[in-house]
Amino acid sequence: MSFIDIEKFIYEKVKETKLPSVTAGLIKDGNVIWSHAVGYRNLENSESATTRSIYGIGSVTKSFTSLAVMQLVEQGVLSLDDPVEKYLPFDVKPFGELIRIKHFLSHTSGIPALGYAEAVIRATVGDHERWIPAATSNDLITFMRDAGDWVLAKPGERWFYLNEGYELIGAIIANVSCMTYEDYITQRILKPIGMQHSFYSKKKAESDPEFAIPYAAMPEGKRMPSTYPYSSVAAAGGLISSVEDMLRCVEMYLNWGEVNGVQLVSRKSIEEMSTPRIATPQKDNPFGPYDYGYGLGILANFYGQTLVGHSGSVGVATAYMGFIPGKKLGVVVLANGSGYAPSLIGQYALAEALGEDPRAHPAIKIEDALEELTGNYETYKGTMKIQVRRSGDFLTVVALGKFGGNVTPLIPVSLEGDKRTFFTLGGASKTYADFTLDGDKATMVMERYAYHRTGKLVD
């Protein structure tokens, strides 16, 4: 099978979003069937990325934390039904009920996100002035003392993504194993399955010859060298790894806990992790419900298959790991920056590996449909000039002028065919914008004006 189309797609997105680099790989039936790297792991020294380059994987780390819990459950050291307060001085009881380990693993504690990890990450990369001195689990517990006033549901009732919960799970792992969380994951998970270039330590990661420098996105697309948060968010998002190492982990999942003759956890534990526990707020997904298990998300109907995985972001690095048990197929995508969702790159690659048309992926179709409309537009004889730009899943109309101008968001109504409709809000009413495509020509009619496209946008 040729993967030229995937490589072209990645190249397009790296160029379009000015990502420093993206690395990716596919594994099927225990064999790496494709791997690829685009861009630079070090922009300043013009050092190219490879599939051995190591990146922060962000919240994909949660799957490792969950694996550790399942190992300890199998050993009889703890139970998923154990109250968190059995191991930590944590006494938040949403509506009088105990938070159990399984609730933190499935993000169903009833506590909405408190912003601890987000604040720490942003402060680390210099994007936030709010300093949270949470160097230890005791500091974090102190930070969360008043979270009882913040709860919105009983444990098990509602999904609230909670990084703080995973950090406390990391503290429980450390307490019951008599090891640091980082040492436990390294000794009991990473080394046994051959992930030799995966680290939590800043010193070890940055001394690796394939270290990918993390980059913060600056105005006008510029990239500034930054740092990873490392142990500040260890159990929730602190692991540094490579595509080659992460594909070993995916192989382990596809083999129900076993890789290279090492049975990391039982098949039952993998099934427990990848069983839906709670519906997420993601509604009307074209691939069916997106639910959450223990450290893994589950997409119900990805081209007729169950897709299990997790995304990750620490702002200066993004990641995606996904696998389809029914096809023994998995993917890993890593980037040393943010700007384009690695999950879409991963799903694009999986779709092609399944023999589907990846350009028909609903999210990619929306991107393509919006991108076709972008450009410089003007009214009769250039009396008024605007730019139409894509902003995520929307368009924006930027009125050009020496003294600045308005930016108007356009929300899609219909993107099918050569006639596409959008609306914007003004006061208590909607104003519609209608685009018509005729080959390379494009016309937009909005309110009293007709605009003809005069050319493409130039970066």
| Confidence band for 24, pLDDT divided at 50, 70 and 90 | very high
* Identity at 289, one-letter amino acid code: P
Confidence label for 458 from pLDDT (cuts 50, 70 and 90)? confident
- Structure tokens belonging to residue 117: 């990890």
Report whether pLDDT(120) > 70: yes
Burial class (CB in 10 A: 0-12, 13-18, 19+), 116: buried
Q: Which residues face 397 on adjacent strands?
A: 388, 408
Q: Which two tokens stand for residue 298?
A: 């589950």
> Do the beta carbons of residue 228 and residue 201 sit within 8 Å?
no
Instruction: Name the average pLDDT for the chain.
Output: 94
Q: Could you state, in order of their start, the residue ranges of all structural domains in the chain?
A: 4-360, 372-455
CATH fold of the domain at 4-360 = Beta-lactamase (3.40.710)
**CA distances for 365 relative to 340, 350, 416, 438, angstroms:** 15, 16, 10, 18
* Whole-prediction pTM: 0.94
Q: What is the mean pLDDT of residues 322-328?
A: 98
Same-fold call for 4-360 versus 372-455:
no
Confidence bin at 404 (pLDDT 50/70/90): low
Pair 300, 288: CB distance under 8 Å: yes
Query: How do residues 266-289 score in pLDDT, each as one tens digit?
Result: 999 999 999 999 999 988 889 999
Structure confidence at residue 128 (pLDDT): 61
pLDDT at 230 over 90: no
Considering only the top CATH level, what class is 372-455? Answer: mainly beta
pLDDT (average), residues 35-43: 97
pLDDT tens figures, 151-178: 999 999 999 999 999 999 999 999 999 9
Give the model confidence (pLDDT) of 368-387 as tens digits.
999 999 999 999 999 999 99
Residue 125 has pLDDT above 80, yes or no: no
Q: Which residue did the predictor score with more confidence, 97 or 139?
A: 97
Specify the pLDDT at position 428.
85
Q: Is the predicted pLDDT of residue 33 greater than 90, yes or no?
A: yes
> Quick check: 69 and 170 in contact, CB under 8 A?
no
State the average pLDDT over residues 429-448.
Answer: 96
